[in-house]
Amino acid sequence: MSVKALNIIFMGTPDFAVDCLDNLIKSKHNVLGVVTAEDKKAGRGKKIKISNVKEYCLKNNIKIFQPEKLKNIDFINTMKSFDPDLFIVVAFRMLPEVLWKIPKLGTINLHASLLPNLRGAAPIHWAIINGLKETGLTTFFINEKIDCGNIIEQSKVQIDKNQNTGDLYNVLKKIGSKLILSSLDLIQDKSFKSINQYASNNDLSAPKLDKINTKINWNDSSENIHNLIRGLSPFPAAWTSIKENKKILKIYKSKNNYTKTLKDYQPGIIIFNDNSILASTKDGFIEILELQIQGKRKMTSFEFINGYKTLDKQQLN
């Protein structure tokens, strides 16, 4: 199938979007400009931080737009002036209808799940938190409802039982950059028909991560706690607190196959045993391999035991 070059406006902000943009720039298609987030002040020194996408654009001399408001009439008129065939959105913001209706062929989004499963802001995290063995990516046409538009194409990915979100993220962003290009070919095929999404009660959601849904519940099962830890690693990290001093304890890596016999503990007791750190759950123990106590650097379990012997058999909240 011979396809013509499409005139595209790309919209994205984080590292996940950079691979897609790079593949588009190297393809036969024309990227007319890129819309990304405004610069932000970050860190203790309040230094200006630019998005990963903007950094890529500056290095490659690509026209950048950073509107404060997506409904701004001057911005809307500028987008219309390009007369684009398509907008491509990867990890950006929700677009107003006045914007996503501009391109002749529509506006497409790349979502890091097999829609309609895991609609929402954090699909990679929640795939692992829920203990899924499979996830993937979906390209779809944006409509007035979030993550509900007609599906163009999907690609499935297996999840290893020891993968964390960082591992899966790196796999998906590479596959996603290829899926975008193959989806453009499909859109130009005259026989192509997009597929309606049919949600069911079995579909999971992927809400924004916050202080509540990232906190460890030690009354949960060892398997669920292990999945939460790897699903939130390396960012933002599953957390608990030490009852005695109220300090936050972040856990980045765990193991859920501790088989040695220990006496029963109530859930949420931290135990130092044979140079290992264990935490009791409702049905056993998980082994903690990498963690960080408030005010200190991230440490391995061995490093932590050497510095915090007093935490043995303390209660976690």
Indicate if 181 and 54 belong to the same structural domain. yes
Decide if pLDDT at 112 tops 60. Answer: yes
The verdict on 142 and 278 lying in the same domain is no
CA proximity to 112, closest of 196, 15, 16: 16
Instruction: Give per-residue pLDDT as tens, 46-63.
Output: 789 999 999 999 999 999
Q: Are 194 and 239 found together in one domain?
A: no
Per-residue pLDDT, 3: 66
CA dihedral for 293, 297, 298, 299, sign (positive or negative): negative
* Predicted model pTM: 0.93
Q: Are residues 87 and 33 in the same domain?
A: yes
**Does the structure show a pLDDT above 90 at 306?**
no
Domain boundary among 179, 205, 231: 205
| 15 backbone dihedrals φ, ψ, rounded to 5° | -55, -35
The DSSP output letter for 34 is: E
Non-local CB neighbours of 6 within 8 Å, separated by 6+ positions:
29, 30, 85, 86, 105, 184, 188
Give the model confidence (pLDDT) of 23-45 as tens digits. 999 999 999 999 999 998 877 77
Q: Helices 15-26 and 52-59 sit at what angle, rounded to 10 degrees? A: 30
Query: Cα(203)–Cα(296) distance, rounded to whole angstroms?
Result: 39
Predicted pLDDT at 263:
75
25 and 117 assigned to the same domain: yes
The answer to whether residue 2 scores a pLDDT higher than 70 is no
Distance CA 122, CA 131 (A): 15
Same domain, 237 and 166: no
| Structure confidence at residue 95 as a pLDDT band (50, 70, 90) | very high
Residue range of the domain that includes 239:
222-315
**Do 17 and 71 reside in the same domain of the chain?**
yes
Res 160 pLDDT > 70: yes
117 and 252 fall within a common domain: no
CATH number of the CATH domain containing 155: 3.40.50.170
pLDDT at 294 over 90: yes
Closest CA to 166 of 225, 216, 134, 124: 124
Q: What is the pLDDT of residues 184-232, one digit of tens each?
A: 999 999 899 999 999 899 999 999 999 999 999 999 999 999 999 999 9
> Is residue 213 one of the residues assigned to a domain?
no
Tell me the C-alpha distance between 279 and 159, whole Å.
Answer: 25
Longest dimension (CA), the chain: 71
Q: Tokens representing 181? A: 């290009």
257: CATH: 3.10.25.10
Query: Given pLDDT bands bounded at 50, 70 and 90, which one contains residue 265?
Result: confident
Q: 198: alpha, beta or left, given left = phi > 0 and alpha = psi -120 to 50? A: beta
Q: Are residues 236 and 296 in the same domain?
A: yes
- DSSP code at position 183: H
- Same domain? For 67 and 118 the reply is yes
Our CA dihedral for 124, 128, 210, 213, rounded to 10 degrees, sits at: 150
- Do 141 and 226 have their domain in common? no
Domain count for the chain: 2
